[in-house]
Amino acid sequence: MNTNERRQRLLELIQQNRSITNEELQLEFNVTKETIRKDLNALSEKGHIIRTFGGAIIRDEYDPSFEQRMTSNLEEKRQIAKEALKHIKAHDIIALDSSSTTFELANLLTDEKELVVLTNSLKVLNVLARLNTVTAISTGGILRKRSLSFQGETVGNAINTYNISKAFISAKALDSENGIMDSNEEEATVKRHMLDKAQDVTLLVDHAKLTHMAHVTVCPAGRVDRIITSTLADAQTVERFRQAKIDVIVVPFGPQGGKA
C-alpha cells in the first residue's frame, strides 16, 4: 500500500468511525507514529479532518453548519435555555455568542424586560429584531456563512466597548482537564473577549459536549461562573466539575427525571 492509498483508507476509517486515535491507526496500518502524524497532517491541510489530542475526527463532526447544530439535541438545548433565562434580569447588558443553544435562549426573550443584547450571531439578531424593549447590538465583522456568525478583529473591538453584565456562551466540547473547547479559532477568540468583559459568565452545554474533544481550548472550565447542562450528562463528569468548585446546574430532561 503506497502513501496515497494508505491516506485514502485512513480517511475512510475516520469517516466511518467519526473519530480515531493515533494508536488505532498505527495498529491498523502497522506503521510508525511519525508516519501516522504525517498522514493526519496531510489530510488536515486538505480540510478533510481536524486533528485532536492523540488522534483525529471528521471535519463535519467538529464544525457542523448552524442548521445542523440547530437540530442536534434540540429539546435538551431548549430546556437548558429555559434555565439560563432565569439568570437574566431587567436592564441587564448581556452578550450571546453564535451557538445554537444561545439562539434558543434568544427565542425565549420577550418584551417584558428591557435589555441590551450584544451578539456576533446573525440568527440571534434576526430574533431580537421583533422585540421592542430589547436593544440589539451587532458586533459587526466578517460574516462566516457556515456558522452565520461575525468574526474578526472588529468583533473584539465591539465587545470591548461595552460593559457587559452577563455573557452566555456555549462550546463544542468541555472536560475538566482541557477546559472549554471550540473547533474554530476565530469563534474561540470571540468567546474569550466575552469572558474578559462580562461580570458573570454562564456556559450552556448539552450532554454530548461533555463526551467530545475539540482542538482549541478557549479557557479553563473554572473561568465561568456556572455551567448549565441536563440530566443526560454523565453523573461522574458532573461530579468532577463540582469537586473542582464549579457551580453546575443540571436541569431535568429525559428518562432520568430529577436533577443530578
Instruction: List beta partners, residue 250.
Output: 229
Over residues 27-55, the pLDDT tens digits come to: 999 999 999 999 998 888 776 777 777 88
What per-residue confidence (pLDDT) applies to 259?
43
User: Which comes out higher in pLDDT, residue 215 or 83?
Assistant: 83
What per-residue confidence (pLDDT) applies to 65?
55
What per-residue confidence (pLDDT) applies to 67?
59
Looking at domain 67-256, does it have CATH number 3.40.50.1360?
A: yes
Is residue 16's pLDDT more than 60?
yes
Answer whether 216's CB lies under 8 Å from 183's CB: yes
What per-residue confidence (pLDDT) applies to 50?
77
Provide the CATH topology of domain 3-62. Answer: Arc Repressor Mutant, subunit A (1.10.10)
Return phi, psi of residue 27, to 5°.
Answer: -65, -40
Answer whether 37's CB lies under 8 Å from 200's CB: no
Over residues 72-127, the pLDDT tens digits come to: 688 999 999 999 999 999 999 999 999 999 999 999 999 999 999 999 999 999 99
Over residues 148-174, the pLDDT tens digits come to: 999 999 999 999 999 999 999 999 889
**Which residue intervals of the chain bear CATH 1.10.10?**
3-62
**Which residue intervals of the chain bear CATH 3.40.50.1360?**
67-256
pTM check: above 0.85: no
Tell me how far apart the alpha carbons of residues 10 and 42 are, in angstroms, rounded to a whole number.
11
Over residues 165-214, the pLDDT tens digits come to: 999 999 988 988 889 998 788 899 999 999 999 999 999 999 988 867 77
Residues 6+ apart with CB under 8 A from 174: 180, 181, 203, 205, 209, 210, 221, 227
Is residue 24's pLDDT more than 80?
yes
User: Which comes out higher in pLDDT, residue 238 or 254?
Assistant: 238
What per-residue confidence (pLDDT) applies to 186?
87
Is residue 60's pLDDT more than 80?
no
pLDDT class of 258 with cuts at 50, 70, 90? very low
